Structure 1
Amino acid sequence: MELSAHFPIASTSVKTTCPYCGVGCGVSAQVGQDGTLAIAGDAAHPASQGRLCVKGSALGETLGNRGRLLAPMLREEGALREASWDEALDKVASGFARVIAEHGPDAVALYVSGQLLTEDYYVANKFMKGYVGSANIDTNSRLCMSSAVAGHKRAFGEDIVPGCYEDFEQADLIVLVGSNAAWCHPTLYQRIARAKQDRPDLKVVVVDPRRTATCDIADLHLPVKPGTDVWLFDGLLGHLAQHAADDSFIEAHTTGVADALDAAGKAGTLAEVAKACRLDPRDLERFYDLFANTEKVVTAFTMGVNQSTSGADKVNAIINCHLITGRIGRPGMGPFSLTGQPNAMGGREVGGLANMLAAHMDLDDAAQRGALQEFWDSPHVAGKPGLKAVDLFRAIEDGKVKAVWIMATNPLVSLPDADQARRALEKCELVVASDVVLGTDTNDAAHVLLPALGWGEKDGTVTNSERCISRQRAFLSAPGSARADWDIICDVARRMGFKGFDFTSPHEIFDEHARLSGWKNGTDGQRRRLFDVKGLAGMTRADYDALDPVQWPVRTPEERTARLFGDGRFAHGDGRARFVPTVPRAPAHLPGGEYPLVLNTGRVRDQWHTMTRTGRSQKLAEHIPEPYIDMHPQDALLCGVKAGELARVTSDWGAVVARVQHGGGIARGSVFMPIHWSGQTASDARVGTVVNPAVDPVSGEPEFKHTPVRIEPFGVTWFGFILSRTELPLREASNWTRVQGKDFVRYELAGRKPFAAAHDWARKLLDVHDDDADWIEVEDKNGGMYRAVHLVDGRIEACLFVAQRADLPARTWLASMFDKEQLEPADRISLLAGRAKEPGIDPGPTVCSCFGVGRKTIEIAIRQNNLCDAAGVTACTKAGGNCGSCIPEIRSLLAETQVAEA
């Protein structure tokens, strides 16, 4: 990757941390003398041991200044203009000060992100809770991890993940609940896969309504009915009480077991649980027996558990099963929350959620509020919880919150009932957005845009899922006038007259954060908090710059802590863990009538959040280039929709359009859509507009996994696609998706206007006005086909293919035409014919993004070489030879090809 707009700030390789999922992989980045960037895994990092997934490997492709927000901007009369930092920050500071003076501190809010570094998060929390005096600071981590936080605090007394990644290698049974780790936490999944390969006796159970890529290594897949996890684990709790209870552990280290078992009894017998969960009773019994008879069990859970109106109860139902068996805090066992974002954990450490204080202090504890105020020497500390994400945007629409500052996130795409969030920002008096890129749905609604540093430019720390603090280090200069988030917040705080924001480096902020973690921790009558990194306080700047990954707590400079609770002492005042009664209950909204299907949402393998970063990479765009609706063929038949064609998904809150597919892993009654597409990358695929905004009453986390919907055909008269070297306006297309190519942009199109208008529309769209332009075209009016190519000096500038049917020519070989400086006569013929001039040129849809290996290439290799396993495919094609994320797909192709051959 060439970085012409940046210059390196270090000539040697810089060790940093990946900015994607919560695994927290180590990255080695080096900018060469020629301006190219080399990305590799950091072999010394304990979380990943030198491995990166395809997203991490492609980080170099996501850098550069194309589309960057490089200067502050103000929106006046609907138009943006560039402004100085002084003008922009004066507007933010005076706007916030005016609203606070007129309406009180709860009339302003911050909405932040797990993309922030811990130092940014710390300053933002200090600003709002200690100086503005409101707890109206919430984070997009509310949407993914807050149920885990609530479950941890109820059970343990503090938000603690007790285990470490080594436990996955030491366990004899791994239960993955609501986790497609193969796609969402790939390097950790590959670590599990290697452990299973080394120890075939290691058992893996996957609990998931869908049959995902993660099931590739599963000994047992339990396709539970969506929303029935509490039934499943309550039934398990009752089974363990009879067959595997550790009575001595329960008596010495816990309270509340009787009430928990009483509540669990409402789930019924094994047969009744199986019926409620829509499982085969034999599979359920096998799972219960495996769990009961295996001492070393790790139960890992993520969004499929958390994102629910009963998410906190699901978390506690899982934890209850580990408490009743005493399987916690020791090697190879324990409940394990896998975080979604790179610094969701760091945000929780500094009180980034609206119902928390910094350093794991409790907002409802007056003594801890007083201790925090004393440490900060602040005018006050917020005395009540602030508004959680969904409620915050409702309060903005209602006019109760009149100024909001959004940092490093895109809520108009990621929130449930996302059109409500848009209405809210449209009504808000002052919307400020700190961001790296200019064009997002949220930024389009902002009055002030502040350019922030991005990955590779910013400096600080993050904390991963196993409580490991790692450094993110800068290796590129700041582009334009971009600044660190902490620096921007401090500047606004000073302009508002607040003291305590004279930081000049992230090192100074981290030192204050570390000192706070030990402040009155277990002294002066204060509860002893397990989050404690005072052993990292007092570091010099050089020590901070050289900080190696370390798991907290770090009470002394020498302390390193892999696991917690091994001594049987928990963070509640009496040192005991709590069993939490969890009564099974149905989701907030059930399918039926007008909305007979249940929508589940989630990630795809090669994209991240709303694609403001991964959407820049050609490599990452090739695996799944379009939004899709995955559904069972029988449901599709009943809805009158077909695979490969467009359909509309509608709920009580909104509607989206995407292409139907039959992935083969989804049960009848359920559909799945990915979350990544925004208003910049698709005409009508912001899935958040459909998702119901019901939230867990304890955690405030929305129910992203269970929205009643209906699906119906989205009728069009033609389908098409364009490959163009320049961006194009697509107002005439009824539906479009934008895909990034190497030297071009690709648009997938569909229209409702008469097909006959395609000719004139194409010339107008591609801006070909000159009759003498090098414009070659072919049209078959009877067959309903039109193809056109625009050339400039013999080089392809754009091509367009339109037809009345959805089965258009393959895009991959067409993309190779853009690499040529001059098209040969045979190339022109191929373009108009709609097929490659030589067999084998088209590799088919991408399977292995790391090496760009397509489906057809793999199928040919399997047939020609009689391959029977993934290792053979890797040896022949390289596919699967880097991050391994595509190995489940390779195994599926092996099976399909072998069946076809038979």
Structure 2
Amino acid sequence: MNAVRTTCPYCGVGCGLIATAQPDGTVTVAADPHHPANLGRICVKGAALGETLGLEGRQLHPQLHGERVSWDRALDYAGQRLRAIIHEHGPQAVAFYASGQLLTEDYYAANKLMKGFIGAANIDTNSRLCMSSAVVGYKRAFGADAVPCSYRDLEQTDLIMLVGSNAAWTHPVLYQRIVQAKQDNPALKVVVIDPRRTATCDIADLHLRLRPGSDAGLYNGLLRAIAEHQPIAAASFSGQLDALAQAEAWTPEKVAQFCDLSRDVVTEFYHLFCTAPRAMTLYTMGINQSTSGSDKCNAIINVHLASGKTGRIGSGPFSLTGQPNAMGGREVGGLANQLACHMNFVPEDIARLARFWGSDRIAATPGLMAVELFDAIGRGEIKAVWIMGTNPAVSLPDSERVNRVLAACPLVIVSEVSAGTDTSRHAHVRFPAQAWGEKNGTVTNSERRISRQRPFMPVPGEARPDWWIVARVAGALGYGDAFAWQHPHEVFCEHAALSGYENDGQRAFDISGLATLSREAYDSLAPIQWPVNAAHPQGCERLLSDGRGWGRDARLRMVPVTPRLPHSADQPGLVLNTGRYRDQWHTMTRTGTVPRLMQHNPLPRVEMHPEDARRYGVEDSALVRLVTPRGEMTGFARLTRDQAPGTLFAPMHWNHQFASRSGVNSLVAAHCDPLSGQPESKQTAVSLAVWQPVWQGWLFSRGAPVLPEAVVRWDVAQAGVHQLRLASDTPDSSGIQAWAAAQGWQVQIAEGAGIIHLLAWHDGTLQLAFYAGRRCPEVNVEAVLAAFAHPPACAATRHALLAGRAASTGPVQGKIICSCFNVGETAIRAAITAGCDSTAALGKALRCGTNCGSCLPELRALLPQRVS
């Protein structure tokens, strides 16, 4: 068996994994105990990666207008169309939209082609939706997009603040490092700052449940408290006096009113920070996805600068990256308002890049950022867009409009792994890209650590690396000599050389120490944190230790911040917060096909406080519709006091591939931070109404069912069976009955009192099971799935199946709590009743909570409910 060390393709923690091919053709994935990012830990998504490597749903061949063609034909067509558009409308009529899931080598190639040879800067990335406010914050404060901290700081600090981050679900391995650090050092304090009570609060010593979007006011008040606690020398930082003057009015009383917190909680938090020798703030989308996200980031950085809690062990402002290579994309210049290797749109950097690339076509001005880019497509200014490894038809705000503008764009090119994404349906040209396990290159995680993604799977069909596809299109455009790479090692070394080219220390990103790697050294490259150069040949764990930043004067800067509430603050309705589920990833093109990853939260829930539920007449699990002027989504209500009154939460994962009307970004307005261009996805004013369909129910089918257009569906991945939750306002479900009857199957039907149950058989095997009623019938899913695998042998079993239950009266599994070991709530409650009084005892009895740890908060929540 061949074991390969590689890096996880999910969040920006950047966990090292060991993939091992098995004799039966499957691949097992385990945590790498020696990788410094995860030290042998793994989350359930990473552990399930081996279950995502099948070829079902893959894009395996180039296509033009939906028809398979040769690579030469597809590349020639793309080159001809792009040349014609550039000739007629100029380079600004072309745009690329890339992804934090590309490898650094892919990203470098795309940026070089767009900004260096096509000559426009219209290349942006889905990282704009996640991290661009953090980029602005770092650049304004430090002179560079440079995260100063390392994961090891988490084990050496006195106070950790998690702000706008449900790390227990979104960065689970990093969260478990914090859990372990707190167990090893009980004096370590953890503060969670979030309008919701999330799983991350499980270890919190203090939870500040502040008003949505009010974080900058909280941190301005903390800056004022720091100045009172420890006066700061006037010459310490550029902009310090202005920042302190702006914070002066933010007394604890004003902060409490602005943030909707008690004064006591505010002062307790300030006391914790001011008295902690070392402190770290971990922040992510809850801060960044705001019309004032850049200011919020700088409000956080200000308190670390003013208190001296940055640039040293266990201290600093730490932006957690959402994607596996969002940091790598920032390094190569993948954002429209930056050039490669931390260079900017200033004459000296433009000239420097022209010398290095040997091009006189370097883009001279920033390009269009994500939302602007698609707006320009809608206006007809951009005639061609090349989308690489991302799904903007789902992930961008006002997503229905994005679909409309893509449908009208004269040329849409998509490089993609999956054949059936919402974005791919608009493509004129489809390039089949290599997937994780096939790709070869590097990624950079949240702590600036460069790691290798190594191939361990044979390349299927005609899939190709993204850098190769870009290079071949560059050749079709006449720039082949500048893109003549034969291996990703050559791309990486060029990127590394550029990072050190004419770099006198003014640019933070410098990996010139890796520019002369041999092919063998590249293949065996161990994880390393940049900068890697003559001053730091073994990498650099922590930045800013000398108190200096980057740029001409290298002074650190405090930025005066005027707190602003989100657009939704003065609009009627409930405030919707969008986010992620524990076991899902982005738009589910990978995770949504894995049955065990769909068990924890198989349907899109709209979480709301019971007070709001009473006001709107909503029962738990009822269907509800959220509506804005841009669109609507349908989900299932979940009543919870973890949600603050007046607010809702809904996941961002579902799309037309997995549900017909649950795309949450169809609701979100395209309001953006004026500096970063990042949309305010975290707060949207919505109206809510209960939807009582004429009928709703479950459908299980061996083959893909043909549904009437009026039927609303939600797919739940199962092995060998299509499982769908359905609802409709049509008067009956005759469309499904007619489809079953048309197949020539033997049909059993039980009807009465508005309920219909239907089973369809062929040659003794179950083909379809359908259960519907005014309310969704209770169905023993385990029994139904078992019947598809092993046809019932007797009439009594079939009769029980028609009723939607098992022939025996044993307990159902209940909601899956532990996805790693498929442990349901029923077994957990039984173990608690039998005497398990701790998560450790449950782990010993059932194994739950003993792998990734993501389910531990839910296990703890069940323990107090033990029957005495």
Pairing 1:802–2:785 present: no
Pairing 1:258–2:258 present: no
1:878 shift after superposition: 1.2
2:703 corresponding residue in structure 1: 726
Aligned length: 866
For the 8 Å contact 1:591–1:597, the answer to whether it is kept is: no
SS at match of 2:72: helix
1:822 shift after superposition: 5.2
Pairing 1:164–2:150 present: yes
Pairing 1:550–2:524 present: no
From 30, 50, 64, the equivalent of 1:40 is: 30
Report Cα offsets for 1:582-629 as digits up to 9, x if no partner.
101121343544xx1111000000000000000110110111111111
SS at match of 1:638: helix
2:840 corresponding residue in structure 1: 871
Pairing 1:361–2:349 present: no
From 454, 460, 463, the equivalent of 1:482 is: 463
SS at match of 1:766: helix
1:824 shift after superposition: 4.4
SS at match of 1:889: helix
SS at match of 1:255: coil
The 5 A counterparts of 1:573-722 are 573-593=552-572, 596-722=573-699
1:743 shift after superposition: 1.9
1:68 corresponding residue in structure 2: 58
Pairing 1:775–2:754 present: no
From 478, 492, 495, the equivalent of 1:510 is: 492
Pairing 1:335–2:312 present: no
For the 8 Å contact 1:631–1:670, the answer to whether it is kept is: yes
Pairing 1:284–2:261 present: no
SS at match of 1:604: coil
Pairing 1:98–2:77 present: no
1:841 shift after superposition: 4.3
Supply the AA of the counterpart residue of 1:52: I
From 416, 423, 439, the equivalent of 1:458 is: 439
The 5 A counterparts of 1:400-439 are 400-439=381-420
Supply the AA of the counterpart residue of 2:241: A
From 304, 308, 311, the equivalent of 1:322 is: 304
2:540 corresponding residue in structure 1: 561
Give the Cα separation in 2 of the matches to 1:448 and 1:714. Answer: 40
1:774 shift after superposition: 3.5
For the 8 Å contact 1:733–1:749, the answer to whether it is kept is: no
Give ranges in structure 2 of 5+ residues lacking alignment.
none
SS at match of 1:381: coil
Report Cα offsets for 1:213-264 as digits up to 9, x if no partner.
000000111111011011010011000111135x35x634x21111001112
Give the Cα separation in 1 of the matches to 2:694 and 2:607. Answer: 23
Give the Cα separation in 2 of the matches to 1:769 and 1:421. Answer: 38
Give the Cα separation in 2 of the matches to 1:823 and 1:125. Answer: 62
Report Cα offsets for 1:283-311 as digits up to 9, x if no partner.
11110000000011010000000000000
SS at match of 1:335: strand
2:857 corresponding residue in structure 1: 888
2:167 corresponding residue in structure 1: 181
Give the Cα separation in 1 of the matches to 2:186 and 2:761. Answer: 58
Supply the AA of the counterpart residue of 2:670: P
1:399 shift after superposition: 0.4
Give the Cα separation in 1 of the matches to 2:787 and 2:847. Answer: 24
1:500 corresponding residue in structure 2: 482
Supply the AA of the counterpart residue of 1:776: Q
From 240, 255, 276, the equivalent of 1:273 is: 255
Give ranges in structure 1 of 5+ residues lacking alignment.
1-10
SS at match of 2:531: coil
Give the Cα separation in 2 of the matches to 1:51 and 1:791. Answer: 46
Supply the AA of the counterpart residue of 2:239: G
For the 8 Å contact 1:813–1:841, the answer to whether it is kept is: no
Give the Cα separation in 2 of the matches to 1:425 and 1:733. Answer: 25
Give the Cα separation in 2 of the matches to 1:349 and 1:642. Answer: 48
Q: What's the Cα RMSD here?
A: 1.4
Give the Cα separation in 1 of the matches to 2:378 and 2:841. Answer: 57
Give the Cα separation in 1 of the matches to 2:741 and 2:285. Answer: 46
Supply the AA of the counterpart residue of 1:816: A
SS at match of 1:500: helix
Give the Cα separation in 2 of the matches to 1:761 and 1:492. Answer: 47
2:330 corresponding residue in structure 1: 348
TM-score by length of 2: 0.98
Supply the AA of the counterpart residue of 1:549: P
Give the Cα separation in 2 of the matches to 1:251 and 1:326. Answer: 14
From 739, 743, 753, the equivalent of 2:720 is: 743
1:4 corresponding residue in structure 2: none
Supply the AA of the counterpart residue of 1:196: K
Give the Cα separation in 2 of the matches to 1:839 and 1:261. Answer: 68
1:28 shift after superposition: 0.5
1:13 corresponding residue in structure 2: 3
The 5 A counterparts of 1:718-867 are 718-754=695-731, 757-758=732-733, 760-766=734-740, 768-770=742-744, 773-779=745-751, 781-782=752-753, 784-820=754-790, 823-865=793-835, 867=836
Report Cα offsets for 1:849-897 as digits up to 9, x if no partner.
00111111111111122x22111111111111110100001111112x2
Give the Cα separation in 2 of the matches to 1:53 and 1:742. Answer: 22
Distance verdict in 2 for CA 1:831–1:333, change over 3 Å? same
Give the Cα separation in 1 of the matches to 2:706 and 2:649. Answer: 30
For the 8 Å contact 1:732–1:751, the answer to whether it is kept is: no
1:112 corresponding residue in structure 2: 98
TM-score by length of 1: 0.94
Give the Cα separation in 1 of the matches to 2:430 and 2:824. Answer: 41
